[in-house]
Amino acid sequence: MLAINASLNNIGDVFMRVFLTGATGFIGSRIVPELLAAGHRVLGLTRSDGGAKFLAEAGAEVHRGALEDLGSIRAGAADADAVIHTAFDHDFENFAANCEKDQRVIAALGSVLKGSDRPLLITSGTGMGDAGDGHPASEDVYNPHQPNPRVLSEVAAQALLEDGVNISVVRLPQVHDRAKQGLISPYIDISREKGSVAYVAEGSNRWPAAHVLDVARLYALALDHCEAGARYHAVAEEGITARAIAEVVAARLGLPVISLSPGEAADYFGWFAMFASLDMPAASTQTRAQLGWHPNGPALLDDLRNMDPAALAER
């Protein structure tokens, strides 16, 4: 394996074997070609034959395993020069438990990389940068007492950083293309089931967003930058209001738009209620300056207006 010097500010001219979790997922499958085009080798985690076929055809190596099998996670990290961790169990009805699982996976990855300069790039959410002062979330905010369960990913990262692991974080907004749009995809399913598209109160709460190809490019740039302790925001749009999202979704589904009181939201949305009224704008000023990242993909509302028919069909 290559010896990586963590003191370098940019290692773009170093070719690495990168262990990528979530390699066949929505974001990871776009990171694969970015890394290969940069000259890196990719060792992709998959649990399925279909995933193995995809990776092989893309030009990546296959590592069989699963998030629940920490032995397979450690083995993948041990056989790599760098690790990018994008895998996450997106069963949001069990969100807290899945955040705890992510904490265990990050700790397992770090246990292998400890004592080396090999970089570990993990994934979190932009909400972790919210200082609670009404300003957009920023990269320099870290609050281990943040009530969102996803903070456990960053708690694990901070522990590893203090233990000498070369770890950094990419925080994600609503990542989208014409087929998937982060939390908006289950929101569409709920709207179809309810027969209306709802927002809470005035619908003025905001969600940040970025196109999936822009996000994939940011991961590759962050890996090349290799700065221990850095946090990057993959944000192209600081905040789109819930009402604007609802109006576009309603137009595409041919359903009415309704406003709910906060008290009505829990019954209407079910598990999604914890997200429906969150105001979570996020900035990426520092990320753009540090990495030279310039997102140029379609805007969230444009992708919603042009959704693939399959994304609108009952799932």
- Indicate the pLDDT class of residue 8, thresholds 50, 70 and 90: very low
pTM of the entire structure?
0.93
The 10s digit of each residue's pLDDT in 183-198 is: 999 999 999 999 999 9
Q: Where are the domains of the chain?
A: 17-173+210-237, 176-208+238-281+297-312
CA distance 25 to 5: 30
- Identity of residue 215: V
Choice between 102 and 310, residue whose per-residue pLDDT is larger = 102
CB atoms within 10 A of CB 261: 8
Q: Which CATH number does 17-173+210-237 carry?
A: 3.40.50.720
Which has more pLDDT, 251 or 146? Answer: 251
Question: In this predicted structure, what is the pLDDT of residue 4?
Answer: 38
Is the predicted pLDDT of residue 37 greater than 80, yes or no?
Answer: yes
Mean pLDDT of 111-129: 96
Nearest of 168, 70, 65 to residue 124 by alpha carbon: 168
- pLDDT tens for each residue of 204-261: 999 999 999 999 999 999 999 989 999 999 999 999 999 999 999 999 999 999 999 9
Q: 67-85 pLDDT, tens per residue?
A: 999 999 999 999 999 999 9
Residue 314 confidence (pLDDT):
59
pLDDT given at position 5: 37
Residue type, 132: G
Single-letter amino acid code for the residue at 201: A
3-state DSSP assignment of residue 195: coil
Q: Which two tokens stand for residue 184?
A: 């908006």
The residue ranges of DSSP E strands in the chain, in sequence order, are: 17-21, 41-46, 61-64, 82-85, 120-125, 167-172, 174-176, 197-200, 206-211, 231-233, 237-241, 257-260
Fold of the domain built from segment(s) 176-208+238-281+297-312: UDP-galactose 4-epimerase; domain 1 (3.90.25)
Lowest mean pLDDT among 9-18, 56-65, 155-164, 168-177: 9-18
Which among 160, 150, 159, 147 is positioned nearest to 120, based on CA atoms? Answer: 160
What are 272-292's pLDDT values in tens digits? 998 999 999 999 999 999 999
What is the arithmetic mean of pLDDT over 157-177? 97
CB 153 within 8 A of CB 161: no
> pLDDT at position 219, please?
98
What pLDDT, on the 0 to 100 scale, is given for residue 205?
A: 97
pLDDT for 90 equals 87
Residue of 166, 150, 123, 173 lying closest to 23 (CA atoms): 123
Distances (CA, A) of 133 to 54, 130, 141, 181, 217: 44, 8, 11, 27, 30
Output the six-digit token pair for 305: 């207006």
Of 7-11, 19-23, 217-221, 247-251, the range with the lowest mean pLDDT is 7-11
DSSP 86-143: ------GGGHHHHHHHHHHHHHHHHHHHTTS---EEEEEEGGGG--SSSSPB-TT---
C-alpha dihedral, 104 to 82 to 171 to 218, nearest 10°? -160
Confidence of residue 312 (pLDDT cuts 50, 70, 90): confident
